[in-house]
Structure formats: C-alpha cells, structure tokens
Structure 1
Amino acid sequence: MQCDYFDANACRSCSLMGTPYEEQLRRKDAAVRGVLAAHIDPQMWLAPYRNTESGFRNKAKLAIGGTIATPTLGILDHGLGVDLRDCGLYEPALAYTFADLATFITTARLAPYDLATRRGELKNLLVTVSPDGEVMLRFVLRSQEPIARIRKYLPGLLAACPAIVAVSANILPEHRAVLEGDREIPLTERETLSMRLNDITMHVRPQSFFQTSTDIAAALYRQAASWAANHRPPDAWDLYCGVGGFALHLAAEGIAVTGVETSGEAIASASLSAADAQLDAQFVAADSLSFAAQHGAPGLVVVNPPRRGVGDLAAWLEHSTVSHIIYSSCNAASLATDLDAMPSYRARAARLFDMFPQTDHHEVMVLLQRR
C-alpha cells in the first residue's frame, strides 16, 4: 500500500507502510509465535488470518483542528490539525462521509477546540460504519453550547448524507488526553448501529467498543464458535464481553452463555442483540473477577481483555474447574504473562488475526485446555 501522508511525513502512524503485505504478515506471525514460544507448541499454530491491506477500518477517530471555515479532520501534531480525509485505511463508505462532515462544521459554526488556548468546542468526530453501509456519528464537545446549532442544521446533513442513521453528542469538558467523556446526548431517534456479522446482528450503542476491522471481528467470532462447538461445554462465560460478539456466536451454537462487562452501554447493546436474535445469552454489568468470584465456574470461559491482560483473573481461572478457555488478546506479551499464571492449562490451538495491517499491532486467539 502506498500512502501520500506517510511519504510526506504528515502521518507516521502506520509503522509498516511500504512493507509488502506478505512480509508484514510473516513478521507479525513470527513475532507473536516468538513471544508465546514457551507456552504454545509450534504444531498448535494455525495459518494466520489475513486482512485486506487497505479499506479495512470501520471507524474513524478524527481529531478536529484548523478553523471553522477550514477545519481539518485527522490528527493533531503539536496542537496543529493535520487533515487525513484521504487516508486509505478507512472503508470507502466511511470515508465518503468526511466531506459532508467538514461542510457541516462550517455550516453549524463548530469552533475546533484549541489545545493551547483551551478554547473552542468541537474536539473529535467519532464515525463508525456497519457492513450494510449505515453510519453512526458522534460529536465530542467541550460543552453543550453548540448542541442547539447542531440540532438546527442536522436535517441538512442527514439529507446530504443519508447513510448517517444515528447521531449523538458526547460531552468532554476536561482538558485531558482522552477520546470521549461520560455523558452522551442522543440527537436522532435511532441510537444504535446495526452490525451484521455471520448472520448475527449486533446493536452497537455510542459508547460501546467494537473491533476496528469488521471482517476480522467476524473471523474471530467464527473461530471461537467453532472451537466451542467442538467441545460442547454445558455452559460458558464471555468475560470482558463488550457488545457480546463472542457470547452471541456461542449462543448460536446452542451453548447457554453469560456475558460480563463493566460498561453499561455495552451490556445494553448486547442484551438488545440477544433479545432481537432470540438467543440464550444473558448479560451482566459487572467486573469480571468479582463476577467470577461470586459464581460457580462454567465449562468454558472466553476472555477478550484490554491490552494489560486479565490480571488477577488468571489466578482465579488457574484454581477453578473451568475445562477450556478461549483467550483473545491484542497483546501477546500480556497474554504470555497470563499464561505463566495458568500452568494447569495447555494450548490446543492458536492463531494470529491481522486486525491492523500496516502496523505491528495484532490480535491472537488461543484455545486452552486444562491438563
């Protein structure tokens, strides 16, 4: 893949840009295998799951810079906006909205937030596209002051870009390096985005996490469901479940499953999806370790933790009666640490999923069985 932004040194986020994709995949697979060599026999590795080199990102996290008249949508470099509207990583249906969004910023007089002076209102635009081409749009604002203008001009934006079906304002008053705040204000009647994967539709709410690459997310869910179906556990937990992708796919295999996640928005999304699909999946808003400590262990546990890994949950799993674990990780190093804490389990299968082409980031999933 060739990128003008990378060549011009305007954005260097993609550290492997210019490296042939086959070489990228080989390097990542070898690196992950190396980090996990003490825990996973080479014969247990499946072939890495490929992605497309470009056009794979289903979400854009656009920092807004520039001025009302000439806004930039992309990143901030030393506080100055760098426009990345033509970045080749975005799905085409997502990138198609950017010109209309820039025009809307000018029309609604949304002043970009200035890091140096701490003035202005619009900090970020968070845009997500579904496999069916529908779009969720979120305005991250310093205050509620611009909302009246957004509401006034929103019908024009929706007419110009009918793919946008759900819009909200997120309020982030603090001056800190985070993407969004806690408060979300719906601006359209529809508040969810329908993400249809593997014949299961997930209803994603504004503050719910969803994987960056839709195709790779679908592959992860298929792989986990296949592994689970082979062992037919009587029941299962999906810990750190997010919007319930793993849980819903296990439920589709006839497995009674409970999903656990701290985010109330994610649990609301997952519960809606389960009810809509009439699947035997229950969802609970709770800390995964606290939930595990208060309930009898199931036959299978799926974990998809943040980069830091499962932490103290590893010790609970080690001393539990759980027979199988499916561990999906975005950080092989923390996965290795967690496997150190679970010596009673051995890997029966492992696979790299290339969630983030053009970068060193990875997703790896391992099937563990108690010895």
Structure 2
Amino acid sequence: MQKNDLVTVRIEDMGTGGEGIGKVDGCALFIKDAIIGDLVEAKIMKMKKNYGYARLMNILAPSPARQNARCKEARRCGGCQIQEMDYRQQLAFKKGKVENNLLRLGAVPKEVLDAAMEGIIGMDEPFRYRNKAQYPIGRDREGHLTAGFYAGRTHQIIPLPDMDCALGAEENQPILQEILAFMGEYHVQPYDEESHAGLVRHVLIRKGFATGELMVCLVINGDALPHSDVLAERLSSIQGMTSITCSVNREKTNVIMGKDIKTIWGQDYITDYIGDVKFHISPLSFYQVNPVQTERLYGTALEFAGLTGKETVWDLYCGIGTISLFLARRAGCVCGVEIVPQAIRDAKNNAAINDISNARFYVGKAEEVLPGMYEKEGVQADVIVVDPPRKGCEQIVLETMVKMQPDRIVYVSCDPATLARDVKYLRGNGYELDRVKAVDMFPHTVHVETVCLMSRVEGK
C-alpha cells in the first residue's frame, strides 16, 4: 500500500485516540471517525513498516453500534471521539480495554482476571455530565467573536453550535452568549496567540451539581477587565451565579490559567458535595469533572479498602483530598500526599469545613515523601490508596509500598496500560489481584477509570 491508495477495511478495534483500527494484507490502519464493526473505504495518508494512517472516505456498511452524534461538530471538535458509538457498546469497549491490558501487558492469568473482573459502572444519562469547561475565545473567518473548543491537535477554534456543548452544563450557553455580547458592545478584544495581543484568552465555567452554584473566570492577557462591573451585573442575574473572577495570564504559553486570581463579584469559590463531603472549589482547584461518577468511583475505592475504623491509610497523589476525606470517615487515620501546594491547602481547608480531624496532608512528590518517611520514621500502613497521573506510579513508590506490606493496596487508574504495568510488578512482589471495576467517568471519549484491589498474599 502507498499514499493515496483507496482500500476497503473492516474495523476490528480502536486506538488510544479513538481511531478505528482495521487490517489490510496484515498491516494495521488507523482511521479516525471509524468505529468497531464499520466496513469503510479509506484513503492512505501515511505508511510505516507495519502500520499506517488513513482518512475515512465512505462508510460502506455501518456498524450495528453506529448512531448519529448529538453534536454536529463531534468529528471536527475531537472532544467526543466515540459519540457515534452506541453507549452500551462504548461501555463494552472500555471494559474490554481494561481486560486486554491486564491480560497482555499485566500478564494476569485469565482465571485470576475472570474471578476479579466486575461489571463496568456506566451512566444512566451520559450527557450534560461535565461540571467544568474551558472555552478559548477568538474570531471566526468572518471576524465575528466566537467561543468553542480547539480542534484535535490544533489551536483552531471550532465554534460551538448555538454556544452549546452536549457534555457541558446547560448554563454554559447563556453565560457565553452574555460574555461575547459584552465584549462586542464594549470592544473588548479576544486574545491572538500569534501577536500576543488582545485581552480575553479563555472563559472557565464551573458548576456545583449538588448546590447549583456557578463560577465564571475570565482568563485575561492584562491586569484588569474594563467595564467588569457591567459584565458582573449581567452575569449575576443568571440563577446560581456565585463567583465571578479574572485570572491574569500574560505569558506566551499554552497553559490556560494564570496564578493571580482577582475577584470581580461574589465569592472566590463555589461549594459542591461528593456524597456527604463538602468541597470549596476555586478557579485553580483540581476537582473531578463528572461528579455523578466521581461519587461512584470513590465509593468503589472505599468499598475495596475494606475499612473498619482502625486502619492507618496512606493516600498517594491525593489532589485536594477527595478520596482522603471519603476514607477518613471510616479509617483511624489518613495521610495524603500531593505535589501541588495549592491542592494541599485546599485539602486541609476541605477537611476543616467537614470537621474531619483524622486526615493529615503532606506537600511533595509521592516518590520522595513516602520513601523518606518510611526510611526515617518507619511509617506503616494497613491500606495504601494510589491515584497516580497517566504515567502510573514511580518505581520507588511501588518498591516502598511493597516494603511497607500493607494488607491492601487500592489502585485508582486513568490509564489501563500503566495500571497493567504496575499490577504486574505488585503481583510479582507479594500481592494478588482480587477485584477490578471499571468506571466510565468520560462518556463518548475513549478514556476509562479503573479501581483495582491488590491483597497481600501471606508468606510472600
């Protein structure tokens, strides 16, 4: 096969970016916008030795799982890589993705995995689940002010149809419309990356699903937003509006938020609940974007931890203490570790507003704090919970956990591949995989969260 060749392909699998994968003459082709079960005509765009990339030209026979996307910009936007796949098939695909990684990369014996693997937790309504959205502001080809999302792997803004995203809160639409109308009326310019000119870079919107409270934060390339009192008056009339702020970011960077937050109106935070635990959320706070599934994810972690009220628990990569505070209600003591100082400040504040006194938090890298305290102070744990970034746990973290010999390790993962790698190490060093449950935190995307229970095997 060569570039520009047309081929007919049956899609048999999907890649990490949501591309359909099919084989022609033993060579794997990655085809964006194709889903498992499709028979497609595709045009070769690039060929390597054993694989290539092709563009979807025609769907010759659609998959039984294919459906119309709710958003007409789903393909261009790239935020919902598999919105055209039936939701039940999305869940089956994600559960299979976790299983295949544990089998192939994790070398978990099939009989062990079959006994441990439980059903995936999906959503009853897999739309309108995001409590946070960040919209770049710019101009379209006709020069009109616009807001939307970046097209995949570009900084080209794809305008939202009617200023509405099918995954976001319904309040986002009137908020964006009000901001763009204000900018047009008062000639407030959007930011231009190439010239580093203009003022408004992004608009961050957050909603507390349990409380209905709304936050708006405008990211600006300057010290102040002109006529901010006018915008505040207009936005504050929207039901639930609680916090209106500006984030100053004058850097030439792809990082969205600046470090300096200025309050324009109301509070500098909103309040939300996960279960019965209250959280204060600022513009810079890390907070899971799907609160419905977050409660189920953390509830699963709590169940797997098997706490009786006496255990010492270490929670590594704890963020603002969301899992820590869930665990603290059932544990003797919880120690959380997180590298971001602001997150630890939030964690301590969240513990205080919930009257939780048995949770302690440490700033630093998990790979430095845990080994250091183990070697110097001999700290121990009955249960260790880890919720690492996509790259998984650092090797020294795994080694220290094994040395500490907790009864149980609860591993919360956002990447099945690195989860499988770390499970393989733990299985080889005295632990067995007891329970696995996938949780669909991000419907219509290829991402999946997983909770694993690793139990110590006596005598190993």
Is 1:208 matched with 2:261? no
Residues 204 and 243 in structure 1, CA contact (< 8 A), matched pair in contact too: no
- What are the within-5 Å matches in structure 2 for residues 137-216 of structure 1? 137-144=216-223, 147-149=224-226, 151-216=228-293
1:107 shift after superposition: 4.5
Aligned in 2, Cα 1:53/1:124: closer, same or farther, shift over 3 Å? same
- What are the within-5 Å matches in structure 2 for residues 275-314 of structure 1? 275-279=352-356, 280-295=358-373, 296-312=379-395, 313-314=397-398
RMSD (CA atoms): 2.3
Residues 229 and 264 in structure 2, CA contact (< 8 A), matched pair in contact too: no
Give the letter aligned to residue 297 of structure 2.
L
Residues 134 and 163 in structure 1, CA contact (< 8 A), matched pair in contact too: yes
Is 1:56 matched with 2:129? yes
**2:138 maps to what in 1?**
65
Is 1:116 matched with 2:194? yes
Secondary structure of the corresponding residue to residue 5 of structure 1: coil
**In structure 2, what is the Cα distance between the partners aligned to 1:151 and 1:63?**
19
Provide Cα deviations, 1:130-168, integer angstroms capped at 9, x if missing partner.
112111222222231xx1415332431343324221233
- What are the within-5 Å matches in structure 2 for residues 16-31 of structure 1? 16-31=82-97
My pick for the range that moved more, 319-328 or 344-353, is 319-328
1:320 shift after superposition: 2.3
**1:346 maps to what in 2?**
432
**1:36 maps to what in 2?**
102
Residues 261 and 288 in structure 1, CA contact (< 8 A), matched pair in contact too: yes
My pick for the range that moved more, 268-277 or 354-363, is 268-277
Give ranges in structure 2 of 5+ residues lacking alignment.
1-67, 374-378
Secondary structure of the corresponding residue to residue 149 of structure 1: coil
Residues 236 and 242 in structure 2, CA contact (< 8 A), matched pair in contact too: no
Residues 267 and 284 in structure 1, CA contact (< 8 A), matched pair in contact too: yes
- What are the within-5 Å matches in structure 2 for residues 251-262 of structure 1? 251-262=328-339
1:221 shift after superposition: 1.5
Report how many aligned residue pairs link the two structures.
368
**In structure 2, what is the Cα distance between the partners aligned to 1:176 and 1:168?**
21
Q: Which one scores higher on RCO, CA 8 angstroms, separation ≥ 6?
A: 1
**In structure 2, what is the Cα distance between the partners aligned to 1:107 and 1:278?**
47
Secondary structure of the corresponding residue to residue 73 of structure 2: helix
Secondary structure of the corresponding residue to residue 62 of structure 1: strand
**In structure 2, what is the Cα distance between the partners aligned to 1:328 and 1:356?**
15
- What are the within-5 Å matches in structure 2 for residues 102-113 of structure 1? 102-107=180-185, 109-113=187-191
Give the letter aligned to residue 403 of structure 2.
H
**1:335 maps to what in 2?**
419
Aligned in 2, Cα 1:79/1:225: closer, same or farther, shift over 3 Å? closer
Aligned in 2, Cα 1:116/1:135: closer, same or farther, shift over 3 Å? same
Identical counterparts, % of pairs: 25
Secondary structure of the corresponding residue to residue 238 of structure 1: strand
Larger Cα-atom Rg: 2
Give the letter aligned to residue 408 of structure 2.
H
Residues 44 and 348 in structure 1, CA contact (< 8 A), matched pair in contact too: yes
Provide Cα deviations, 1:303-335, integer angstroms capped at 9, x if missing partner.
111111111312222222222111111101111
Aligned in 2, Cα 1:278/1:176: closer, same or farther, shift over 3 Å? same
Residues 307 and 330 in structure 2, CA contact (< 8 A), matched pair in contact too: no
Is 1:92 matched with 2:170? yes
Give ranges in structure 1 of 5+ residues lacking alignment.
none
Aligned in 2, Cα 1:257/1:74: closer, same or farther, shift over 3 Å? same
**In structure 1, what is the Cα distance between the partners aligned to 2:277 and 2:260?**
29
My pick for the range that moved more, 177-186 or 236-245, is 177-186
Residues 170 and 180 in structure 1, CA contact (< 8 A), matched pair in contact too: yes
Residues 383 and 406 in structure 2, CA contact (< 8 A), matched pair in contact too: yes
**In structure 1, what is the Cα distance between the partners aligned to 2:118 and 2:310?**
23
Residues 367 and 394 in structure 2, CA contact (< 8 A), matched pair in contact too: no
1:210 shift after superposition: 1.1
Secondary structure of the corresponding residue to residue 180 of structure 1: coil
Residues 233 and 299 in structure 1, CA contact (< 8 A), matched pair in contact too: no
**In structure 2, what is the Cα distance between the partners aligned to 1:197 and 1:150?**
36
Q: 1:5 aligns with which of 55, 72, 92?
A: 72
1:24 shift after superposition: 0.7
Residues 348 and 368 in structure 1, CA contact (< 8 A), matched pair in contact too: yes
